[in-house]
A and B are shown apart, each in its own frame.
Chain A
Amino acid sequence: MTRVVHELGAGIIPLGTRAQNCYPGEVQIRPIHEGLFSSPDDPGGLGLFAGLCGSCKALHFPATNDCPYCGTTGCETRIVGKTGTLHLATVVAAAPPGYHGEVPYGFGLVDLPEGLRVISVIAETNIKRLRPGLALRLGLRSLPSPEAEPPETEPLTLVSWHYEPAGGSP
C-alpha cells in the first residue's frame, strides 16, 4: 500500500545527505530527485517547483535555468500545483523498466491552476473514477529504493509526487 509520507511525520532530507540523528528504526525519506517538489515541512508546504521565464512568462516543470520555450536563461522558481484538475488519465497495469513501485497505478495529465499541464502518477486505479475534470490535490508517495543499501545505512525510502482525488478515494 502506498504511504502518504507527510502523514508519517517525517521530514524530507536533501538528496545525497544522510540524517545524523536518526533514531533506531526511523525511516529516512529522500526525494527521488532534487528540485522537483518542496517539503511538506517547508513554510509554504508541499508544492511542485516550476520554472517561470522572466521573458516569455511561460511556466515549465521540472524547473530548469533555461526556458524550454524561448531559451532565455535565469528562470525563477515558483511553487505551483498544490491542487489540480484531471485532464486525461489511464491506468498502467505492468511495471515499466526501472520502476519498482506498486502496480497498477494511475497515470495522467493534470491541469494546474497556475496554467501548467503536468504528467503525473495519479493515486487512483479505477478508470471509471478517472474522469476529466476530477478535482485533485498534490501528495507524496513512497517508492522502494532500487539499490540495496549498505548495512550501516538506516532504511531509506524514496519519495515522489503524485496527485490524489481531492475528495478522497471511496
Chain B
Amino acid sequence: MSANPVYIRGVGLHPFGRFPEQTVTELGLHAVRAAIADAGGGSAESPPSTRGTFDAAFCASVYSGVAAGHKVLSRNGATGPAIMNIEAGCASGGAALSLGTDLIRSGRYRNVLVFGMEKMPRGMIRSSFFPPWCEQAGLTPAPAYFALRAQRLIQQSGVTRKDLADVVVHNRRKGVANPFAMFRKEVTREEVLRSRLVCDPLRLWMLCSPNEGAAAVLLSSQPTSGQVPVELAASVLRSHQPGSALGEHTPLSGRIGNEPDSPTTTAARAALGQGRLTLSEIDVVELQDTDAGRQILSIEELGFCAPGEGGAFVRAEQEKSSQTATINPSGGLLSKGEPLGASALAQVVELVWQLRGSAGARQVPGAKAGLAHTVGRGANASVTILVRH
C-alpha cells in the first residue's frame, strides 16, 4: 500500500519579538488564523473560521502550561477533534509536524493543523531538565555548553572567532528583509567581536535571543487549488544515542572518542531517505543557529561538509564561492530570536514561501527543494524536507 502524499495547504506566522500586551494564546491564535486564511479560508479583514478545517491538531510549546493548544482552539470554536500538546525542546514544532505528517500518510486523517507558540522567560534559559544540585554546582549554563561546542569547532574544524562573527553578520544581513524577525539591523564583524563576552569564544551577539512568537501549518492529503503545491516529502524526529559528553542531552559524562552520530545526522539521513533526495538537490535550508557556532556545527552534522571542514565551508559560503544551498534566508534565529514551540514551524513557513516564490526580497531564485533543521534539549533533532511540484 503506498502512503498518501502530504501537502502544505496553508502557513501563518506571528512575528517573533517581545509582545507584553499579548498572551501566548493570542499569539497562537494569530498564527492559526493566518494559516487558515492562507489555505483559502478568508482574508485578514474578515478572519476565517477555524472550525471544521482540520481532523486533528498538534500544538508545540515548552513553557505555555497545561492544555496550551486547547486554549488557543477554544477561542474560536474549533475544538472537538483531537488536540495534542507536544513538548520536545527546541524541536517541539518538528515533533508535532512529524506526528501530523504520519497521520495523513497513514490515511487516518485528511487535514491536520500543526501550530506552536511560546513566550520565553527572559534571560538565560532555565528548564526543569536538570536536578537542583546541578544548578547549584554551576553545571547547567546553556551558553557554556554552546561555547564548548564552539571551542571544539575551533580545535577541530579550523573555525576562527572571525568566522563566528561573520555567521552573525551574514544572518543579520538576511534578517533585514524579514518582517517577522526581531532584529532587522545589519551588524559588523567588529561590533559582534566587541559585544560582551558571555562564554569564550561566544559573545552576546553570537547568541540568539529567547523571545515570543507563533507559527502554524495546515497539512492536507490534497493541495490547495490555485496555489503552488508544496509537498512535505519527509518529517523526521530523532533523539540522541548515548556517548557524547557534549550532546544536547547534556549528560555529565561521555566516551573519549568513538562518539555516535548526532541526532541531527541520524534525522537528516532518515529524512533524505524518505524524501528520496540528496543534499545536492536541496536549494534552500533553514537550520538551527542557536548560536553562531551551532550554525557551523549544524552544517557539518547535516552533511553539507565533512566533519572538520566547517570553517572552510562557511568562509566559502559567505564569499559566495560555494555552489551549495542558501542557508537561513530568513536570517535564522540570530535575527528572529527563538520562541521554542514556534521556531521549527517558522522555518517550515519560510521554506513554503521560498518554494512558492513568494519570499519577496529574501527569495532564493528558483528554489524547488528545502530542508528545515532544529536541534535542542532532550536531545531532539528534527529534519523536514519540502519540495515544490
Contacts and interface: CB of A to CB of B under 8 A. Distances in A.
Interface of A: 32-33, 50, 58-62, 68-69, 87-101, 105, 107-109, 111, 115-119, 121, 127, 132, 143, 146, 158, 160
Given A98-B132, A99-B140, A132-B155, 9 more contacts: A50-B253, A92-B138, A92-B199, A96-B135, A96-B144, A98-B135, A107-B138, A117-B255, A119-B250
Contact of A68 (B198, B202, B242): B242
A143 B200 CA distance: 24
Given A32-B133, A99-B136, A146-B136, A88 B148 contact: yes
Given A90-B200, A109-B245, A132-B155, A116 B136 contact: no
B152 A119 contact: no
B64 to A, nearest CB: 19
A163 to B, nearest CB: 13
Nearest to A88: B151
A146 B137 CA distance: 11
A79 B243 CA distance: 20
Contacts of A32: 133, 136-137
A91 B242 CA distance: 26
Contacts of A98: 126, 132, 135-136, 140
Contacts of A105: 138
22 contacts: A60-B251, A61-B253, A87-B256, A89-B151, A90-B144, A90-B201, A90-B202, A91-B199, A92-B141, A93-B196, A94-B124, A94-B198, A96-B124, A96-B135, A97-B123, A101-B137, A107-B138, A116-B253, A117-B245, A119-B251, A127-B200, A158-B136
Contact of B256 (A115, A121, A160): A115
Contacts of A116: 253-256
B6 to A, nearest CB: 35
B243 A118 contact: no
The winner among B152, B196, B199 for most chain A CB atoms within 10 A is B199
A115 B255 CA distance: 7
B49 to A, nearest CB: 42
B253 A93 contact: no
Nearest to A158: B136
A121 B136 contact: no
Interface in B146-193: 147-148, 151-152, 155
A15 to B, nearest CB: 9
B277 interface: no
B137 A91 contact: no
Contacts of B199: 90-93, 107
Question: In the complex, which of the residues A32, A50, A88, A115 has the most CB atoms of chain B within 10 Å of its own CB atom?
Answer: A88
A58 B255 CA distance: 8
A109 B245 CA distance: 8
B246 interface: yes
B256 A119 contact: no
A159 to B, nearest CB: 10
Q: How large is the interface on B (under 10, 10 to 19, 20 to 34, 35 or more residues)?
A: 35 or more
A90 B138 contact: no
A87 to B, nearest CB: 8
A118 B134 CA distance: 14
Contacts of A50: 253
B65 interface: no
A74 B156 CA distance: 37
A59 B253 CA distance: 9
B139 interface: yes
A121 to B, nearest CB: 5
A96 B199 CA distance: 12
Contacts of B140: 96-99
B148 A121 contact: no
Given A90-B151, A98-B132, A121 B138 contact: yes
B67 interface: no
B251 A68 contact: yes
Interface in B200-224: 200-202
B252 interface: yes
Contacts of A90: 144, 147-148, 151, 199-202
A146 to B, nearest CB: 6
B197 interface: yes
A150 B255 CA distance: 43
Contacts of B138: 92, 95-96, 99, 101, 105, 107, 121, 143, 160
Nearest to B151: A88
A109 B246 contact: yes
Interface in B229-286: 242-243, 245-246, 250-256
Nearest to A103: B138
A98 B123 CA distance: 13
> Which of B147, B196, B243: most chain A CB closer than 10 A?
B147
Nearest to B126: A97
Contacts of B142: 96
Given A69-B242, A117-B245, A107 B137 contact: no
B131 interface: yes
